[in-house]
């Protein structure tokens, strides 16, 4: 394969340029994909409907403690703080529920559930979940 008088190789030169550009851009694309930090919010994996409970004698009894304990263990998190808010004052929510250790908060999310009361009422409750590392 020889160059012409002007030093050009016409078709072959174009093919080589095309492959070079394609290869470099493909490499760039792979680099971008592999170096984008994994900033996925761990709260996205929480199962919202699991945050519920019931009201007995006016006190809120959570039913998610075991689930949250398993969740933070499986994700390598230090702990979790869960604040329960029941509008209307239909139950005593007490202090925020702390599971594990209260380290640095990394993520939070609010879930809505319906709480069953032992007197036949059912009403919404809001759970603010803060995950800590």
* Binding-site ranges for another protein (CB under 8 A): 10-11, 14-15, 17-18, 21-22, 25-26, 28-29, 32-33, 36, 39-41, 44, 85, 87-88, 90, 109-110, 112-114, 120-124, 126
SS3 assignment, position 95:
coil
Neighbouring CB atoms inside 10 A of 102's CB total 14
Tokens of 123: 């009403």
Q: Which residue, 11 or 95, has its beta carbon nearer to another protein?
A: 11
Q: Which residue, 67 or 123, has its beta carbon nearer to another protein?
A: 123
Report the alpha-carbon angle 41-44-48, nearest 5. 145
Is there a contact between 127 and 84 (Cβ–Cβ < 8 Å)? yes
State in angstroms the smallest separation of the CB of 122 from another protein.
5
State in angstroms the smallest separation of the CB of 116 from another protein.
9
């Amino acid at each position: 394969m020889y160059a012409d008088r002007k030093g050009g190789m016409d078709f072959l030169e174009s093919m080589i340029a095309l492959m070079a550009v394609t290869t470099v851009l493909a490499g760039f694309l792979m680099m971008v994909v592999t170096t984008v930090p994994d900033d996925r919010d761990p709260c996205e994996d929480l199962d919202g409907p699991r945050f519920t409970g019931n009201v007995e004698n006016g006190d809120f009894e959570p039913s998610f403690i075991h689930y949250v304990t398993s969740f933070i263990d499986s994700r390598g998190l230090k702990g979790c703080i869960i604040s329960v808010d029941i509008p209307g004052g239909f139950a005593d929510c007490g202090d925020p529920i702390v599971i594990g250790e209260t380290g640095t908060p990394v993520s939070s999310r609010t879930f809505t559930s319906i709480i069953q009361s032992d007197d036949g009422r059912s009403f919404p409750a809001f759970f603010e979940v803060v995950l800590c590392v």
